[in-house]
């Protein structure tokens, strides 16, 4: 396989989901026995898979925090509305009726 074809194969593997990617899916690295290049790419792939898992974990934590903050924001909004209603009713109760 020519070098450009090999690079295209490597790029195609890079575009796939990192968890599904495999060095074995790059024909030019399996057929010509270039073990050094294969090992470098395999190490990079493992590193990317670890980074992907870490990012997914971080994203899950962010989603959890977002949900908690959304609930807290809604709770505080309800308290704020309740206090606003209380203040408005107190003000209307303390106002003196106007003489006509």
DSSP assignment of 31-95 equals HS--HHHHHHHHHHHHHHHHHHHHHHHHHHHHHHHHHHHHHHHHHHHHHHHHHHHHHHHHHHHHS
Residue 88 in this model has a pLDDT that exceeds 80: yes
Instruction: Please give the pLDDT value at position 35.
Output: 78
Residue from 44, 42, 43 nearest 26 by CA? 42
**pTM (2 d.p.):** 0.51
Instruction: Please give the pLDDT value at position 55.
Output: 97
- In this prediction, residues 1-15 reach a mean pLDDT of 62
DSSP-derived 3-state class of residue 99 = coil
Out of 32-36, 63-67, 78-82, 84-88, give the one with best mean pLDDT.
63-67
Residue 68 in this model has a pLDDT that exceeds 90: yes
Mean pLDDT of the chain: 78
Classify residue 96 by its DSSP letter: P
Distance CA 30, CA 24 (A): 6
Instruction: Please give the pLDDT value at position 1.
Output: 47
Instruction: Please give the pLDDT value at position 40.
Output: 86
């Amino acid at each position: 396989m020519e070098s450009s074809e090999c690079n295209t194969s490597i790029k195609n593997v890079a575009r796939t989901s990192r968890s599904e990617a495999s060095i074995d899916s790059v024909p030019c690295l399996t057929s010509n026995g270039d073990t050094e290049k294969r090992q470098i790419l395999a190490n990079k792939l493992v590193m990317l898979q670890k980074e992907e898992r870490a990012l997914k974990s971080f994203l899950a934590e962010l989603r959890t925090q977002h949900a908690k903050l959304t609930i807290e924001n809604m709770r505080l909004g309800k308290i704020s509305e309740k206090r606003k209603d209380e203040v408005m009713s107190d003000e209307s109760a303390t106002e003196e009726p106007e003489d006509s």
